[in-house]
Every structure is written in structure tokens, then in C-alpha cells.
Structure 1
Amino acid sequence: MANITLPSDSMSYPELFHVAKQDPSLSWPEQLWWAHYTFWDNDVLATGIITFLAHELIYFGRCIPWIIADALPRVFHRFKIQDTKPPPSVGDQWTCVKYILAIHFIIELPLIVLFHPMMEICGLQFTPPFPKFSLLATQVALFFIVEDTYHYWLHRAMHWGPLYRAIHRVHHQYAAPFGLTAEYASPAETFLLGLGTICPPLLLGYVTGNVHLITVLMWMALRQLQAIDAHSGYDFPWSLRCLVPFWGGADWHDDHHRYFWGNYSSSFTYWDILMGTVAGPRGKAMGHNPRR
């Protein structure tokens, strides 16, 4: 907890940030963090605001480069994975924006508001100081592994006929995905897959008592970036899959949309390789039958 004496009068963000400098042990991001929670004087509201705004800014901000790439097909055509199909139209992009905003406000916003009470029940921390980077990085890596496992089995189940028709069909509306389609899904799918993102930090916090909200925000941001890039429809020589072993990337997930079966994991490739569900020509070359 920050060692700061707070005046009785209400103060603005800049004034609170200046007051936070009373505690020299806090870095400037921690001072901003303290000022934010003190300004709102309501932990549930303060957590909800910072989480929802971060979600919207990161999601739509990361989609902008892919929208630009789709608008300049002559420049980026050689990096397009399904290069025989036309780029999404302005109408397609706008349809996605409207649908995703509705999902964000109707489904995700209530869950974000409920997150702080769940966070307190599970013992997650949200006051300064922030965790060390080594702990943050280790926990985020663990969340990626756990979520990928959850995503693989749930996603694979969603391709079973009744579940596909009831839940997953919306996401497969576009056989050639583009950035904005990362969260283009039914409300039920949004909720179920969202559990794979928020539950690992809550469970780890409950068990260890050593998970901070800033770690959760970093994890959620990286998971969003991964999902958007996997749906971008573009594969570059410098893509992360070229640097990180077993990383799926856009070319991996694009095959899932193109061939419908296989490549069910969210981030990595090892579950599909181990379970014989690699999609497309790569799967056939490995003797896989993704319909199993």
C-alpha cells in the first residue's frame, strides 16, 4: 500500500499524481495507478473503467493496421495467406465493428464489472507496488499455456454438429478471416472462451495469493493481440511463428477457417500435432484426420 497522506479536498488526476510523488518508492506508472483509484474512490468502478478502456483501445487499435493492409491490396498482396480471395469490403468491416461493439457492451462489459468482486474473493492484488517483471512474465506464460489447452478442447467440441449450429457457426461466417473477426462470435462463445482468459489468473490468485491486476491486464492485452493477429489473414517473414517454436500464428489459424476442421488451438500448435488434428495439406502430409 502506498505511503501517502491524502488531503481532504477532492482533487483532479494531475493533482493526485503530484500527491503520489510523496512516496518515492513508487514508479511513475504506479503513481498514475494510485491516482486513478484514488480519483474514483470506488475500486469496482476504477477497475472496470481501466479494464474496459484498455480492452477497447487495444482491440480496435491493433485492428487498424490490418484494416489499412486490406485497403491497400497491391502493397500487401504478397503477404496475404488466401491471396485468391478479395479483401474484405468496407461493408464487411463495418458489419464487424457494429457487431463487436454490441458484444463488448452487452456481454463483456458486465463481466468486466463483475471481475473486481471476483478478484477480491480470489485474493488478487490491485494496489501498488506492481509485481516484478520476472513474476509477471512467468505468470503470463503460464496463462497462455493453460488457456491454449482449454481453448483447444472447447473449440474442438464446438465443431460437433449441435454445438456448432447453436454456438460456433457465427465465428465461421468468414472463411477468409480479417483482424476484426477475432471476436466476431456468438454471445455464448464469447462467454465460454472468455472463461479461458479470466479463470487462470483467478485460480492462480486463489491458490497462491500472489497475482496482481496489472499482470491480468498484461495477459489480457497479449491474448487480444494474439487473437487479432491470428485472424489477420497475413503472414510476414518476421511473424512471431518464425521466432517462437510451436507458435501458431495467422497461417495456422487461417487454415482452420479455410478447411473448417483442425487447428483448434488458440496460440500454439502442439495440441493439434499431438492429437492428430492438423488442418489442410500439412495435416494430410502428417497423416492426420482432423475430423476425428
Structure 2
Amino acid sequence: MLNTTATPYHDAGVLYANTDFSQLNWIELQWASWYLWIGNPVLATGLASFLLHECVYFGRALPWIFIDATPYFRKWKLQPNKIPTASEQWACTKQVLFSHFTVELPVIWLFHPVAEFFGMSTWQVPLPSWVAIAPQVFLFFVFEDMFHYFAHQALHWGPLYKHVHKIHHQYPAPFGLAAEYAHPAEVFILGTGTILGPILYCMFRHDLHIFTVYIWITLRLFQAIDSHSGYDFPWSLQHWLPFWSGAEHHDFHHMAFVNNFSTSFRWCDRLFGTDTKYRAYRARLEAAKKAGMSAEEYARMEIRLNEEAEREGVAAEKKAENSDFAGAWHKTKVQ
């Protein structure tokens, strides 16, 4: 039950002193109730942000664990001969939790004062309309995709790759839980692209609510986990939106080490020519389909092409570990 009588000076109830709760919808009432129940806006925002991240991340990853354990789904597996073991998934989970608590939790905890400093609404109700939310979230997707593209390129530079990004490339056939399996420094670097878009938007527009940021974070986590799932279903989003990257696009990067550095969209890779090897690989698979191969013949050819790409990727990885920045850009672009 919503309590509108709370008035301690640190209590969020003071913030709602002039709010007409009869005009709020159910979600807005729950939003205000959370801040009233916690009593401290900074603590309430920090707890909500961290719990949202953990629940969405592991909640979205769980179905992929079930799918990996079910042979029926293997026909849609991009690298069907590589299924993550229980020990691999547990090791991955421990590293992810380590990064969540050592890097993401402190940042999330400081997010409320930083957000309010730049003019972001947090505890305020009513919440923004979907008409306002949709274009903001789209802008965040575009900004993050571009930021990630260039940051990811930098992480393939020798020292950064050897000491930071190499952890994320431990699995040439990624799986859902591995989306944030990375060195804490990488989590911080790439996470900056996720939160910097909303912060910059706030600085210039001053009309952003953290509720919109939560929707953005939820969709971003779905995108990251799904792109690392290792599965390409007929109903996957990239078959409906050709410019969407998806697992089919990102899986090649893990397998071959080169090409496909963006996250959500294929635009940057196409624009800067960092998808040529990937497109040649896809062309060979499509040609095999059109040649009328049997399912068994096609499966054997796909495994053969995957193994070839992975061997080349191992060689490219060794070069990257010993490259300078200029060389890293050239090699990742043309290989």
C-alpha cells in the first residue's frame, strides 16, 4: 500500500509531498512506492539499478543454458560441434559475478548523483510516455554501437588484447552467459558506451528519465546475450531487420577473431570494410545451399569451413598480440 504520509527529511516521501497519486497508473505507483519504501533516493536508485542488471542478465541467460542442453536445438547452432560444458559455464559465471561486483556495482551505486547532476529524472512521477522513450532508446542504440565498434577495434591492439580482451576471446564458440565474460577493465571500457549515451543526451536535452535508461539497459542486455548465444533461428531478429547484427554476425568474430566489431548493427563494419572475410564465408555457405547438398553434406561442409576460419583466427590472434596500434587496425580490417 502506498504511504503518502512519510516526511523524514531524508525520506523520499518529502519528494512526493505535492504529488496527486490518484493520477498515476499502476507502474508509476509502484515506482513511487519503491522510493518511499527504501526512504533514500540514492540508495533506492542504486539497489534498483543493480537488481535490474542482475535479474535481466541471468534471467535472459538461463534459457540459453536450457537450449544448449537440449539436442533438438542443435540444428540451429552456428558451431554445432561446440557445446559449452557445465564446468565452462560455471567458470564463466564466476568471472561475470566478479566483474559485476568489482566494477559494475560501484559505478551503479554512484549513478544516481551523477545522473541528477546532469539533469536526469530518477524518483519523479509520472513516468515518460512511450512516444518519448522510443526515439531516445534508438539514439542510445546507435551511439553505443558506434562507440563499441571503435573501442572494440582498440581492444584488438596488442597490449590491450593480450592483457585485457583476450579473456573474452577464450570461447571461440560463445554462449549466452559469456556476453559479459571479460576482464574488469573491458567491462568498464565497453560499459562506458552503454551509459555515456544517456549522460550526453541529458547534458544537452535535460528531458531524460532513468526509467527510459532502464528500458535501454534491459534491451541492451538482451542484445548482448542473444548475440553471444551461438544460435541463429529462423525467427531471429536479423532475418526481419537485415541491418541487425545478431548471433549469426557476432559468432563469426569469436570464431575467426577478425571482422564484425560492432554490437547491434552491421553499419560500421560495412562502412569501414571490416566484414569482408565474414561476407565471403557467408557466400560460401549460401552457395553450398543452392548447390543442392543433402543436410548431412551441408553440415560437414559447415564444420569444415568453421574449422578453417578458426585456424585462421588463431593465427590472427597471435599476430594481434604482437602488433602495434596501426598494424592492429590494418590487420583486423583486411584479414
Of 179, 182, 197, the match for 1:182: 179
**CA deviation after TM superposition for structure 1 residue 7, in Å:** 2.0
Q: Which residue of 2 aligns with 1:136?
A: 133
How many Å separate the matches in 1 of 2:275 and 2:46?
Answer: 39
Normalising by structure 1, what TM-score? 0.90
1:154 and 2:143 aligned: no
Normalising by structure 2, what TM-score? 0.79
How many Å separate the matches in 1 of 2:156 and 2:3?
Answer: 57
For 1:85-164, list aligned pairs within 5 A.
85=82, 87-126=83-122, 127-164=124-161
Q: Which amino acid aligns with 1:46?
A: A
Larger radius of gyration: 2
Q: Is the contact between residue 259 and residue 278 of structure 2 (CA under 8 Å) also seen in structure 1?
A: no
For structure 1, which runs of at least 5 residues remain unmatched after alignment?
A: 11-19
Q: Which amino acid aligns with 1:231?
A: H
How many Å separate the matches in 1 of 2:333 and 2:77?
Answer: 24
**CA deviation after TM superposition for structure 1 residue 21, in Å:** 10
1:226 and 2:269 aligned: no
Q: Is the contact between residue 276 and residue 334 of structure 2 (CA under 8 Å) also seen in structure 1?
A: no
How many Å separate the matches in 1 of 2:6 and 2:52?
Answer: 30
How many Å separate the matches in 2 of 1:223 and 1:251?
Answer: 17
Of 45, 49, 62, the match for 1:51: 49
How many Å separate the matches in 2 of 1:291 and 1:38?
Answer: 56
Q: Is the contact between residue 151 and residue 196 of structure 1 (CA under 8 Å) also seen in structure 2?
A: yes
How many Å separate the matches in 2 of 1:227 and 1:279?
Answer: 23
**CA deviation after TM superposition for structure 1 residue 163, in Å:** 1.5
**CA deviation after TM superposition for structure 1 residue 285, in Å:** 7.8
Q: Which residue of 2 aligns with 1:209?
A: 206
How many Å separate the matches in 2 of 1:84 and 1:102?
Answer: 29
Of 234, 242, 246, the match for 2:239: 242
> How many residues of Structure 1 are paired with residues of Structure 2 in the alignment?
278
How many Å separate the matches in 1 of 2:332 and 2:261?
Answer: 13
Q: Is the contact between residue 261 and residue 279 of structure 1 (CA under 8 Å) also seen in structure 2?
A: no
How many Å separate the matches in 1 of 2:25 and 2:242?
Answer: 35
Q: Which amino acid aligns with 1:34?
A: A
Q: Secondary structure of 1:78's match? A: helix
Of 38, 61, 72, the match for 1:75: 72
Deviations 1:123-149 (A, max 9, x none): 001211111101101000000000000
Q: Which residue of 1 aligns with 2:333?
A: 290
Q: Is the contact between residue 226 and residue 267 of structure 1 (CA under 8 Å) also seen in structure 2?
A: yes
Q: Secondary structure of 1:66's match? A: helix
**CA deviation after TM superposition for structure 1 residue 157, in Å:** 1.3
1:67/1:279 CA distance change after superposition, 3 Å: farther
**CA deviation after TM superposition for structure 1 residue 280, in Å:** 3.6
Q: Is the contact between residue 173 and residue 230 of structure 2 (CA under 8 Å) also seen in structure 1?
A: yes
Q: Which residue of 2 aligns with 1:15?
A: none
1:245/1:285 CA distance change after superposition, 3 Å: closer
Q: Is the contact between residue 123 and residue 209 of structure 1 (CA under 8 Å) also seen in structure 2?
A: yes
